[in-house]
Structures are given as structure tokens and as C-alpha cells.
Amino acid sequence: MNLFKYTVNNDFDFIMEQVGREVKINSDKVTAIIQNISLNNSNKHDTKSIMTKAELRTGDLVEYNSFKWLIVNDINDKRYDHYNKSKMRKCPFVIKFNFKGDIVEVPAIVGVGMQGVEDGKVMTLPKGFLKVTMQDNEDTARIKEDLRFITMGYVWKVVSCTKEDKGLLYVYAEKDLVTHNDDLENEIADKWKHEEQESNDTGDTHTTEQQIEVIIKGDSKLYEYDENIYEAKLLKNDVEQIAQFDFTIDYNGCDERIAKLEVISDTECKLIANEDMIYGTIQLIAVDTSDNNNKCIQEIKVVG
């Protein structure tokens, strides 16, 4: 008998009885010892050590303390043929991937300059890009290039997926424009696009109609020698959406010297009145760049 091994195993069992916590690994209940890990400054992710008699594999999802945690490092053989030890990293995000109307929620680690699976390896991505780490499984295997998703208030489009570490899937994405089909509030990209498609395929005409409206906020009168600022908004069922607009003036037969247009931002513009006592009514037009069917025309009177 290996007395050292026997002693270590007995000590582990005693500690497990005293401080072991019930967790779930891939939905299966097990008992484990969870410990904090001292991290260097390059790794800001919440990482903990896990020890358990249950099997552990890279990519396993652990349910602990109301969060999902991802096993991120290679698993060696059982220690003293008795227990497994590994590192798990918190998945602070749950991303809703929309597979043509089938919404799948995936716990994930999201970042730009992220620490790799092996400590000390740091990858910095170009501005506007994102790296998402998740479990490699049947659901995530459906993620392909050009699939769009929403997280951290932005829409992203998948540019590539890699599987260099068994059990893990790495998804790289770039920022994409918001469209009227995106549900930013519930973080579901292309939600209404696929709902409309499903309705057309089934002939169902009883789906909830989406009310999309563009409005322009600003004074309807522009006085000579003065200037006004106007703001365009895209509303979906009265909820403001992130949008970008093209602004133009229709002089409506008036002298083009009547007013001058200056674009301030994606949603704001300025009208500057003339100084030549030219009066009349012009039209300010705001068009949603993601769908030119969404637009607003506001009449503005230039007065003395």
C-alpha cells in the first residue's frame, strides 16, 4: 500500500466533507472544492480553482454561485488517482444567437485584449473587433461567418471561428450596423427578419406588426440670421433604436440661398438661415442608412 497516497486521499475526502460545495458540471450535480486564484494584472477575468472527484474536461460548463464558469485549461490525469483539479473562468455574458428564429443562449467570455487559455498569453485585437470564448458543442457548432449577434449594446458580425483548444470555440466578430430588424432591448439580432420570414413561409398573418417610425425633433420655424439644430430618431414600437441618418434639403422651389445644411453627427444636423431676406418653406429629409424606406420629411418655414 502506498501510505502517502492513502494519506493524501483521506485528507482530500475530509476536506471535501468540510468545505465541499454542490455545483453542476454540464448540468450534473457534483461536490467540489472551489478556491480563489491570485491573478496577475494582465488577467482581469474572474478565475477560480476547482477540485472534484468527478471527471473534468476543457470546455466543461460549471454552475457555481449563480454563474456559469468555463473550464479553460488542459486536464491532466487524476491526482493520486483520486481527484481532478483545473481552472474555471466566469462567463459574465449570455449571448443570444439567432439561428433563423431558433434563439440559443450561450454563456460566454467576451473581451478585446483577452488572456489566452495558457496564463501569460495575451492577444490584442484590432479596434472594433471582439473575441468570444465558449463551450464547443452542438449548438455553438451552428455559428458560422456572417451570423450577427448583440452584446454590450452593439451589433456584431462573425468573421471567423477557431477550435485550437479541444472543448472550446473561439468566435471572432466585428462591429456591424444596427438595422430595424434588431431587438436591442432583448439583445436578439435579426429578430423581426426571421419572424417575418416565418410568417411568410407559413402564411400566418396574425403576427404582431412592428411599428417603425422616423421622427425629426426641432423648431418648425427658422428665423432670418438664425440657426436651428434638428435631431432624427428611429422608433420601433415607440422604443428608440440606434440608427444613422442621411440628411438633405428639398428647397421645394425656393431659392437655394434660403438656408444652408450642416451635418453634425449620425443623428443631428444644423440649418442656417440666409441673411438676404429670402423666405419660404423648405423640407428637411432624414433617411435611415440601413433601410431607406424609413425616413421622415419635416417642413420648415424660413421667416423674417
pLDDT band at 44 (very low <50, low <70, confident <90, very high): low
Alpha helices in the chain, H assignment, sequence order:
3-19, 191-202
Contacts of 199 (CB under 8 A, 6+ apart): 205, 207
Q: For the whole prediction, is pTM greater than 0.75? A: no
Radius of gyration, CA atoms only, the chain: 28
Q: Which CATH architecture has domain 212-303?
A: Sandwich (2.60)
Strand partners of residue 65: none
| pLDDT value at 144 more than 90 | yes
Q: What percent of the chain has pLDDT over 70?
A: 78
pLDDT in tens, 71-95: 988 766 565 555 788 899 999 999 9
User: What CATH architecture is 3-91?
Assistant: Beta Barrel (2.40)
Distance, CA of 67 to CA of 48 (rounded, Å) = 12
All three cell numbers of 147, joined, read 451570423
**Positions of E strands within 116-267:** 122-124, 129-135, 148-151, 154-162, 168-176, 212-217, 221-223, 227-236, 239-241, 245-250, 259-263
Q: Please state the rounded mean pLDDT for residues 166-175.
A: 94
Neighbours of 290 (CB within 10 A): 19
Span 17-23, average pLDDT: 78
